[in-house]
């Protein structure tokens, strides 16, 4: 059960390892019902039933997307809000002032020093620790206790062909495969159906960085070969591929993670006008990050 079900599920979401991840952080609903249920299956059934009651129906979609791609979401938010977004602008430091905060951004040699009434730090945990070391020294140690896994995603377009794989699959580590999951995008999302078979696959697990230490061409070729074999493609030569690497992209919710998050938030709460949010705390997915952002903004306005 652990090797063939739990490991691929947790590896697919967190790029982590089942024996190191916090149950309370990764599966809070299951953890909440375990003491009363007395078994994993009983707790899973109770968590499922509670989730159905809270949603009001059992038939809502598990996954949703944006028709133009998730990449369209930030641009839409900027257009709707009128916010100013600066790309490729490193943040080096943060300090308190008499009226709020001063940031150090841009060139390290000649930084800009914009002021702010309030600040929400949404950087990965290690970078957040460096930004907060002078303003909230008590948050540094627990932030540095949140390690990250690197991963890569390969998108592939194959000639259109029949498949028996549904919308995708997860790959148990015990198989020795390079890829850890495969999504048949053109089957999962009807608006992507067309003249090509669109597939994406992810690579990379915590403490298995050697899988990613290949040049781009070698890594893509290895992923394509794995995917073609797993999906039993009759036409395995891709029409197009795209590789995106996410160095240090996925925070690891190791055992004790809820305590580290509580320590960070308690320290930050002592500084008026400052909040932290993001994938490092209460969920790595887009919906979880949106919930945490709303919580942080609500606290600042509150």
Sequential pLDDT tens for the chain (302 residues): 899 998 998 888 889 999 999 999 999 999 999 999 989 999 999 998 987 776 555 566 677 888 888 889 888 989 999 888 888 999 999 999 999 999 999 999 999 999 999 999 999 999 999 999 999 999 999 999 999 999 999 999 999 999 988 899 999 999 999 999 999 999 999 899 888 999 999 999 999 888 899 999 999 999 999 999 999 999 999 999 999 999 999 999 999 999 999 999 999 999 999 999 999 999 998 889 999 999 999 999 98
Based on the fold, state whether residues 157 and 231 are members of the same structural domain.
yes
> Helix/strand/coil (H, E, C) string of 121-164?
ECCCHHHHHHHHCCCCHHHHHHHHCCCEEEEEEEEEEEECCCCC
d(Cα 18, Cα 213) in Å, to the nearest integer? 24
Based on the fold, state whether residues 203 and 162 are members of the same structural domain.
yes
CA 253 to chain centre: 11
**Residue-wise pLDDT tens digits, 87-118:** 899 999 999 999 999 999 999 999 999 999 99
Based on the fold, state whether residues 141 and 279 are members of the same structural domain.
yes
The answer to whether position 78 is within a domain reads: yes
The answer to whether position 264 is within a domain reads: yes
Q: Are strands 196-203 and 179-184 parallel, antiparallel or unpaired?
A: antiparallel
Based on the fold, state whether residues 116 and 257 are members of the same structural domain.
yes
Which CATH number covers residue 205?
Answer: 3.90.660.20
Q: How many domains does the chain have?
A: 2
Based on the fold, state whether residues 88 and 204 are members of the same structural domain.
no
- Domain range for 160 is 150-248
Question: Percentage of residues in the chain with pLDDT exceeding 70?
Answer: 97
Which CATH number covers residue 272?
Answer: 3.50.50.60
DSSP letter, residue 60: S
The answer to whether position 38 is within a domain reads: no
The answer to whether position 282 is within a domain reads: yes
Long-range pairs of 265-272 with CB within 8 A, sequence gap ≥ 24: 266/138, 267/136, 267/137, 267/138, 267/139, 267/142, 268/132, 268/136, 268/139, 270/136, 270/138, 271/96, 271/135, 271/136
Based on the fold, state whether residues 115 and 141 are members of the same structural domain.
yes
**Residue-wise pLDDT tens digits, 243-258:** 999 999 999 999 999 9
Q: Is 92 helix (H, G, I), strand (E, B) or coil?
A: strand
Contact 222, 210 (CB under 8 A): no
Based on the fold, state whether residues 244 and 158 are members of the same structural domain.
yes
The answer to whether position 183 is within a domain reads: yes
Based on the fold, state whether residues 142 and 154 are members of the same structural domain.
no
Query: Where do we find the tokens 């029409």?
Result: 239
Based on the fold, state whether residues 244 and 264 are members of the same structural domain.
no
The answer to whether position 56 is within a domain reads: no
The answer to whether position 20 is within a domain reads: no
Across the chain, mean pLDDT equals 92
């Amino acid at each position: 059960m652990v090797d063939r079900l739990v490991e691929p599920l947790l590896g697919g979401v967190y790029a982590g390892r089942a024996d190191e991840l916090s149950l309370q952080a990764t599966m809070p609903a299951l953890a909440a019902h375990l003491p009363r249920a007395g078994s994993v299956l009983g707790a899973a059934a109770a968590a499922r039933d509670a989730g159905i009651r809270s949603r009001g129906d059992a038939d809502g979609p598990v996954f949703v997307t944006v028709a133009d791609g998730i990449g369209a979401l930030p641009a839409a938010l900027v257009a709707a809000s009128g916010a100013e977004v600066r790309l490729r602008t490193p943040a080096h430091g943060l300090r308190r002032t008499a009226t709020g905060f001063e940031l150090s951004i841009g060139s390290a040699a000649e930084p800009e020093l914009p002021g702010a009434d309030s600040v929400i730090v949404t950087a990965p945990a290690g970078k957040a620790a460096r930004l907060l070391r002078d303003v909230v020294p008590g948050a540094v140690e627990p932030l540095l206790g949140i390690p990250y896994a690197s991963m890569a995603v390969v998108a592939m377009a194959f000639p259109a062909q029949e498949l028996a794989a549904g919308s995708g699959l997860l790959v148990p580590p015990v198989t020795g495969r390079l890829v850890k999951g495969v999504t048949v995008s053109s089957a999962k999302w009807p608006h992507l159906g067309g003249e090509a078979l669109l597939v994406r696959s992810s690579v990379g697990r915590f403490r298995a960085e050697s899988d990613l230490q290949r040049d781009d061409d070698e890594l893509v070729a290895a992923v394509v070969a794995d995917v073609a074999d797993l999906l039993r493609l009759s036409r395995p030569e891709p029409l197009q591929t795209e590789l995106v690497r996410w160095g240090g992209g996925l925070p690891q919710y190791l055992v004790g993670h809820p305590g580290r998050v509580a320590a960070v938030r308690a320290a930050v709460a002592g500084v008026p006008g400052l909040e932290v949010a993001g994938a490092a705390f209460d969920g790595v997915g887009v919906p979880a990050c949106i919930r945490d952002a709303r919580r942080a903004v609500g606290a600042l306005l509150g």
